[in-house]
Amino acid sequence: MTPPDEDSLIRKDVSALPVPPNLADYEQARASFRWPAAARALSGLPGGSGLNIAHEAVDRHAQGARATHVALRWLGKDGSQRDFSYAGLAAWSARFANVLDALGVQRGDRVFLLAGRIPELYMAVLGALKHRCVVSPLFAAFGPEPIFTRMSIGAAAVLVTTTGLYRRKVSALRERLPQLRHVLVVREEAGEPLPVGTLDLAALLEDAAPQYRIGPTRPDDPALLHFTSGTTGKPKGAIHVHEAVVAHHATGALALDFHPEDVFWCTADPGWVTGTSYGIVAPLVHGLTLIVDEADFDAERWYDILGREAVSVWYTAPTAVRMMMKGGAASARNRTFARLRFIASVGEPLNPQAVTWGLEAFGLPIHDNWWQTETGGIMIANFAAMDIRPGSMGKPLPGIEAALVRRTADGGVALLAEPGVEGELALRRGWPSMFRGYLGEEERYLKCFAGEWYLTGDLARRDAEGYYWFVGRADDVIKSSGHLIGPFEVESAFMAHPAVAEAGVIGKPDPVAGEIVKAFVALKPGHAPGEALRRDLLAFVRKRLGTAVAPKEIDFVAALPKTRSGKILRRLLKARELGLPEGDLSTLEPGA
Ligand code: AMP
């Protein structure tokens, strides 16, 4: 591997890679790839009774040669460690499925998870999938409002959480969630009393049988519900089906270059789609050892884990890479990462400096890849055997047809075939992990498509060699430390404060987090801007939204710029904040 040359190309020498890559020749792999063949690489449920993610991820390994192989190594915040073999994980998830069964939870019922990265979360995800429930993981850093909105849209029947999270964030919502029948809690402190209205998960698991026969599961049965945000309105619950596992498996091989003896660490939280598709499903389907770290980001701890746990494939995010870069490459160079052979990143633009920092720190470049909640799996990637153009997201996966398009007035799209032309990134529908709807919002779902094309909401361009380059979002959603944040959800939280007349929220560029959430607030008559009110407002929204979503900055303004139809012009707020041209103001309300 050579450092970037003048054309900023990191060349790959395939013969020098430590293992032969799964995708050695990109064009040839694209020409020969077929989704039906990819589906045949999986086992399917015994007796031809369908396809179930949990069977592919654990049971088939537990019944075969991988039974004693470590499936999941859990690293506790306090330095403790727990290993789960495939047989062990199959048994724990079977127990969880039996717990659901005993509680009368039915196929299709929604099981929500609100917990940090604790072992029970992994048992619950896999067990609920076995019981053919629909799993919806939430961020533990969410405040009560985002939790309530998502659980009510999703009609949560079961919640798995911890005693502390329940007390702090859920108990006060309980009356507003009439469909929530069972709350299963993990004790944060040994022996502490259980909150009223909850059940002790540990005791239920202990009493449940460790075998469970998965019932017939159709490939298009719903399996996962991942919430994402749009510019307006409530969060959208993207529905994914069991067949998505075909894409998790194929993309794990092609984009992350999984090989059977890999130790894989995905640093994403399961509250985000990456932490489920690649933080649970894909590596287990491949029979790998998956590392799960309970603790939050800490550069020294991460270097330790990469070395000590002999991680061979590492999937992380740009914000984390930039935080490690701040500490310099020396920390990494003083250590050995004997088995590390492939690093990938997703979720936000990965700047060229971060790609090449990987070379300095680990002797390996960082491979950017692109996808989103709706796509369910990696769509565009830099592959192990392909030269890297730092700053580019790479090329579409085999089986994925991407294009750049311009929306036309008749609701269709025009394809922009010329290299270098900026357009909206579109994907031809039909890959197995494609979302099948936004829960209860058919119209919003249909709006994402123009004929055969799924429109991603991202702007990009493609160069003459076929590499895709991210340009920005076509809408106002904010990406902060990898979290997609809907400005409307944040603005609504401000509106609940008695002093606020209106609020407009934007993403403000930040060198580490990509963007931070910034709010502009106009006050009601009788309220004066000031430091005390700013602090009060920050605390007010943080309590409601949680730290992952709440703004970092607030500016007071006399009024917000709006269109004649009354929509807040966030684009203009942002342009003014950044000192950029204000663009077309023809729809601006006079006086704004
Ligand atoms: P989410 O649905 O939360 O995973 O967010 C998906 C969005 O994150 C995409 O639509 C992009 O705007 C952004 N994103 C994901 N991966 C990348 C990447 N490699 N480069 C730039 N933006 C990305």
Give the distance (Å) from ligand 1 centre to CA of residue 346.
7
φ/ψ (deg, to 5) at 344: -135, 160
What is the residue with the minimal CA distance to atom 4 of ligand 1? 372
Binned at pLDDT 50, 70 and 90, residue 251 comes out as very high
Q: What is the pLDDT of residues 554-592, one digit of tens each?
A: 999 999 998 877 788 998 999 999 988 887 666 666 655
User: Which structure tokens are listed for 497?
Assistant: 């404060």
| Nearest CA, atom 6, ligand 1 | 372
Ligand 1 midpoint to CA 508 (Å): 16
Q: State whether the beta carbon of 479 lies less than 6 angstroms from ligand 1.
A: yes
Task: Report pLDDT for 522.
Answer: 95
**Mean per-residue pLDDT, 501-511:** 95
Which residue is closest in CA terms to ligand 1's atom 1?
372
How large is the average pLDDT for residues 141-156? 97
d(CA 292, CA 75): 6
- Judged against a pLDDT cut of 50, whether residue 414 lies above it is answered with yes
CB 476 near ligand 1, within 6 Å: no
**Does 72 sit in the ligand 1 pocket, CB within 6 Å?**
no
With cut-offs at 50, 70 and 90, classify the pLDDT of residue 330.
confident
pLDDT of residue 591: 58
User: What atom in ligand 1 is closest to the CA of residue 457?
Assistant: 10
Q: From its phi and psi, is residue 260 left (phi > 0), alpha (psi between -120 and 50) or beta?
A: alpha
First-to-last alpha carbon distance for the chain, in angstroms, is 55
Evaluate: CB of 185 within 6 angstroms of ligand 1: no
Question: If you average pLDDT over residues 34-62, what whole number do you get?
Answer: 97
Nearest CA-CA partner of 509 in 272, 325, 348, 317: 348
Q: For residues 467 and 592, what is the distance between their CA atoms, to the nearest angstrom?
A: 41
Distance of CA 482 from the midpoint of ligand 1 (Å) = 8
What are the angstrom distances between the C-alpha of 559 and each of 141, 526, 562?
A: 31, 15, 9
The per-residue pLDDT for range 157-182, each reduced to its tens digit, is: 999 999 999 999 999 999 999 999 99
Distance (angstroms) between ligand 1 centre and the Cα of 350 equals: 10
| Per-residue pLDDT at 188 | 96
User: How close is the Cα of 390 to the center of ligand 1, in Å?
Assistant: 17
**Segment 349-392, tens digit of pLDDT:** 999 999 989 999 999 999 999 999 999 999 999 999 999 999 99
What pTM did the predictor assign? 0.94
Whether the predicted pLDDT of 481 surpasses 80: yes
> Maximum distance among all alpha carbons in the chain?
72
pLDDT digits (tens, 9 = 90+) for 208-224: 999 999 999 999 999 99
* Cβ of residue 346 lying under 6 Å from some atom of ligand 1: yes
2 confidence band (pLDDT: 50, 70, 90): very low
More confident residue, 198 or 1: 198
E strands, 474-531, where? 478-480, 483-485, 500-510, 514-523
Share of the chain above pLDDT 90, in %: 90
Phi-psi region of 79 (alpha: psi -120 to 50; beta: other; left: phi over 0): left
Nearest to 489, CA basis, from 172, 147, 247, 258: 147
- Nearest ligand 1 atom to the CA of 273 is 4
Any atom of ligand 1 within 6 Å of the Cβ of 236: no
Quickly list H helices, 171-218. 201-207
Q: Please give the pLDDT value at position 331.
A: 83
Q: In the predicted model, is pLDDT for residue 5 greater than 50?
A: no
* Interval 93-107: pLDDT, tens: 999 999 999 999 999
> Which residue pairs, CB below 8 angstroms and at least 24 apart, start in 466-472?
466/395, 467/389, 467/392, 467/393, 467/394, 467/395, 468/370, 468/380, 468/392, 468/393, 468/394, 468/395, 468/396, 468/402, 468/425, 469/391, 469/392, 469/393, 470/349, 470/370, 470/393, 471/422
Q: Share the mean pLDDT of the chain.
A: 95
